[in-house]
A and B are shown apart, each in its own frame.
Chain A
Amino acid sequence: MEQIEAYFNHTLSEAERIQFEQELKSNPALAEEVAFWVQARAAAQAEARARRKEELTQLGQQLQQKGRRSLYYALSAAASVVLCLGIGWYVWLRKSVGESNYTQAWAQMYVETNFSTLEGLKLGNAEADSLQLGILSYNEGNLQKAKVIFEALLQRDSTNAEAEKNAGLVSLRLKEYDQAIEHFHRLGTRTDLVSNPGKFYEALALLMKNEPLTQKSAQNLLNEVKRDKLEGWKEVE
């Protein structure tokens, strides 16, 4: 067996190799030994390869699991960071809003004191008549009717600032804050008016809505009103 192995490992001398090959031709027992050695080596190679392949496949499965775990940890870490930032931001928002004097209660009081009735205009045309009719309905407590009149007026003339203001106020009284905010915001962006309470009223509507984000926006608007001395600035001084 040792000689066979030396032959295939190419470690025999030239003379030994020639002698081995000559004996192989004439010696059936040696040929059988060689056949066995070749087969045994092929079997050992195949078996070793199969076992090693099994080990590597297991290693691959471990790598896959490790990869999945890493992805899970990365996602968990990202979610935790987002959650912490969200909580921090919310706490900061609540704190900054909570420190302000201008709260939902203050806005509520202001609306009840100042907007229980509206003052009419004394203009003698059809638009003014509709406006007066709306104000009358408002003052009689028929807020839905007043709203329909003011909205109709705005549809006919979207630049009617008085109708815009009153439509906002009636929405505010009806606790339809989103609509009120929309009307006051439109009013507040107008630059053609001598007197424009849009931003102050929008801040009131935002405070009434009483959500962290709207509270923060209301504070910003009130600061703007105060800084630029817009209509309503004396109320927030």
Chain B
Amino acid sequence: MFIFNKVLKDDALLQGLQAGTTQRRLYENKLYEKYHYLVREACYKHKISQDDAESAYSDAILTVIEHVISRRFEGRSELKTYLTQIFTNKCVDSIRKNTTNKAEVHTNSIGLEDALAWLPDETQSAVRKLIVESEIETLQQRLRALGDKCREMILAWGEGYTDEEIAQTMGYNSAAVAKTSRLRCLEKLKEKYKSSIGG
């Protein structure tokens, strides 16, 4: 474990994040720590508070992690350059939010649109009609009310962990067992959600 006491090179960080092992979180933290000094630079450069800079940096790191895992980051630029660009955008969002109360421009890539875009046009509009974005918040509340194990499992799925990784982390015998449990948890969430909206 001594390896996690030193600063890792970008190649090692990228490999660690993409390897799909239970140590992914440690590599995420290492990435966060390695470029954390950018927060101090941003406070000075963008004249934003430490708290706002910390928040923007955490957001930027999470976005970079998603892009690395989904291979959207293709390594055409240095990892630091890529992170700095995203972090700068998040800082600009923070400034805009503080000065005009406008919603952020650089939204997260996660969300509904990615999934909906996969559907054919004719069915996409039908499904879209059934979706009320504000209901996502209700679902988040129901998710918090689930039992610990179900909640952790669904959150791990939301974070992009595969069933194999979930099985390793949560002590299931196989990915198939983890998947069955996760789908059961999703059914539970659906029941809670339906009963809350009277469906």
Contact = CB atoms under 8 A, between A and B. Distances in A.
Contact of B111 (A37, A40, A42, A59): A42
A49 B108 contact: yes
Contacts of A1: 183, 186-187
Contacts of B62: 49, 52-53, 56
A153 B186 CA distance: 106
B7 to A, nearest CB: 13
A46 B110 contact: yes
Interface of B: 28-29, 32-33, 36, 39, 50, 54-55, 57-59, 61-62, 108, 110-112, 115-116, 118-120, 122-123, 126-127, 130-131, 135-137, 139-140, 143-144, 154-159, 179, 183, 186-187, 189-190, 193
Contact of A44 (B131, B137, B154): B154
Most chain B beta-carbon neighbours within 10 Å: one of A2, A38, A57: A38
B143 A31 contact: no
A107 interface: no
Nearest to A35: B130
Nearest to A28: B126
B58 A25 contact: no
Interface of A: 1-2, 5, 7-8, 10, 21, 24-25, 31-32, 34-49, 51-53, 56-57, 59-61, 63-64
Contact of B131 (A2, A39, A46, A60): A39
Contact of A34 (B36, B110, B127, B157): B127
B33 A59 contact: yes
Given A1-B187, A38-B116, A57-B55, A43 B123 contact: no
A43 B110 CA distance: 10
A139 to B, nearest CB: 72
Given A39-B135, A42-B110, A25 B123 contact: yes
A147 B157 CA distance: 96
Q: Is the interface of B mostly helix, strand, loop or mixed?
A: helix
A45 B130 CA distance: 19
Most chain B beta-carbon neighbours within 10 Å: one of A1, A37, A52: A52
Contacts of A60: 32, 36, 39, 54, 57-58
Contact of A46 (B28, B59, B140, B183): B140
A40 B130 CA distance: 13
Nearest to A7: B118
Contacts of A44: 143, 154-155, 157-158
Contacts of A8: 115, 118
B116 A48 contact: no
Given A8-B115, A49-B110, A25 B126 contact: yes
Q: Which 8 A-B pairs have the closest CB atoms?
A: A44-B158, A35-B130, A43-B139, A48-B158, A56-B58, A45-B110, A48-B159, A48-B155
B93 to A, nearest CB: 14
Contacts of A35: 127, 130-131
5 contacts: A34-B119, A38-B127, A44-B143, A48-B156, A59-B32
